[in-house]
Structure 1
Amino acid sequence: MSSVTQVPRPRLALFDLDHTLIPMDSDHGWGEFSIAIGWSDRAEFGQRNDEFFAHYQAGTLNVHDYVRFATEAVVQRGADAANAAHQRFMQEVIGPAIKPQAIALVQNHLDAGDTVVITSATNEFVTRPIAQAFGVQELIATDLERDATGWYTGAVKGIPNMREGKVARMDAWLAQRGLSWDEVESTFYSDSMNDVPLLERVNHPVATNPEPRLRALAQERGWRVLDLFTENT
């Protein structure tokens, strides 16, 4: 009598970025940095940036309006200046914000052979270098439209990667690889109520540094809660 060996399902470790892997909002931080280097006016840009961030936290953000606003200086300055500024942003703002325990968490999944994906509502210009700093090649972010020269126009390309859009984008990512949710073992780490649709979709939701509403929901549903930035490992 022969036995059939079951092949383990591929394991996915999905991570939100802002306030999950880094203790800040990278999009808002980029806006503050653009003010600091003189690309944006403190009074006008700072006020609007704060207003958009409040809408994001409340789940009422118009992402198309926000992305056009947030990328305006990048679009105007062009690729060379914008990329050089982002290198400074990584050195001065993001680098010091990346905690060893966050690096260790991602690395543990990589070492275990999991496919690690960072899935962020923040646009690809801001997030791509941050994902690379974590050693993560697979990034699903809010994509940006490009013009004939290959530079950004300020418009969103395709489905914004937030709320239900994160599920749709992950559906497409899986389909491109000939996979479905039933064929993978999935874990998702997030701090935000905006990510409840994807947290509900995975096998192992992890409320990570959760905002109060998500902490309460996680406790109600028996989801794991991880306070990453208060732990030493």
Structure 2
Amino acid sequence: MTHKLAIYDMDKTITVKATWGGFVIGAARRQAPWRLAFLPLVGLASAAYGVKVIDRARLKQVAQRLLLGRTMSAAATAAAAERFAGRVRLYDGARERIAADRAAGYRLVMATASYRFYVTAIAERLGFDAVIATLSKDGGDGAVRAGIFGENCYGPAKLRMIEDWMAEQGIARADAEIRFYSDHVSDAPTLAWADDAFAVNPHPPLRALAAIKGWTILDWEG
């Protein structure tokens, strides 16, 4: 049996903009507006990431701790995720491609560095079958803590997490036909591993690499 998988990155592949900043700011504005006073500190953390003093995982944890607090209850998390999922802007081209893959018999999988606790609401609206994403530390009773559990689902770690998910599902790589879509060169390991690689709205480094590797380029921004 051949397992047909269409695996999509999310931020700037399906969504028009990166989502994490919009999610945490929107949730803070609704739940604790006074925390927006910490935005300059988040900006400093972003600058530290820009000069490689901290990594992406640490930046995400700092932003969550400052804007959402040490722990976010299950109810608050679910409500914030649903509100955000209803506002996030998606590429029309992404919607069309997702529908086409579904019609062609592919199982739809979202694989993203964004946090699972809000990504799932977006994926469900699009009819995805599974989500592979960065996990948060357990705050108890369904709450999430401001910390990453396991790996940040980014770069080579994303491919490892996809392979782990496939193993859990009992899907051998030799028995799978895999499409992978991404906008960013950090996903080069997964693009190279897939049977069909699609560079979507690629930034310049990925566009250049796609030309060398012969990966299909899709431009949905127009």
Q: Same fold (TM over 0.5)?
A: yes
> Aligned ranges for residues 59-70 of structure 1 at < 5 Å?
62-70=55-63
Q: TM-score w.r.t. structure 1 length?
A: 0.83
SS in 1 for 2:193: coil
Match of residue 52 from structure 1: 46
Cα distance in 2 for partners of 1:197, 1:54 equals 26
The residue aligned with 2:108 is 116
- CA displacement, residues 143-186 of structure 1 (integer Å, 9 cap, x when unaligned): 11213433112221122211111111111111112222222111
Identity of aligned residues (%): 25
Aligned to 2:97: 105
Contact 1:52 1:66 in 2 (8 A): yes
Aligned to 1:4: none
Map residues 203-222 of structure 1 onto 2, 5 A cutoff: 203-222=195-214
Worse-superposed segment, 199-208 or 140-149? 140-149
| 1:89 partner letter | F
Structure 1 residue 130 corresponds to structure 2 residue 128: no
What are the ranges of 5 or more consecutive residues in structure 1 without an aligned counterpart? 1-6
TM-score relative to the length of structure 2: 0.86
Deviations 1:64-111 (A, max 9, x none): 4233223331654522233323333233x31xx123332121111111
**Post-superposition offset of 1:112:** 1.3
Task: Give SS of 2:188's match.
Answer: helix
Q: Quick check: 1:74–1:82 contact (8 Å CA) kept in 2? A: no
CA RMSD, 1 decimal: 2.6
Structure-1 separation of matches of 2:176 and 2:47: 34
Q: Which residue of 2 aligns with 1:146?
A: 138
One-letter identity of the residue aligned with 1:66: L
Out of 84, 87, 91, the residue aligned to residue 89 of structure 1 is 84
Q: How many residues align?
A: 219
Whether the 8 Å contact between 1:12 and 1:117 is mirrored in structure 2 is yes
Matches of 1:192 and 1:39, distance apart in 2: 33
Q: CA deviation at 1:199?
A: 0.9
Q: Of the candidates 6, 10, 25, which is equivalent to residue 32 of structure 1?
A: 25
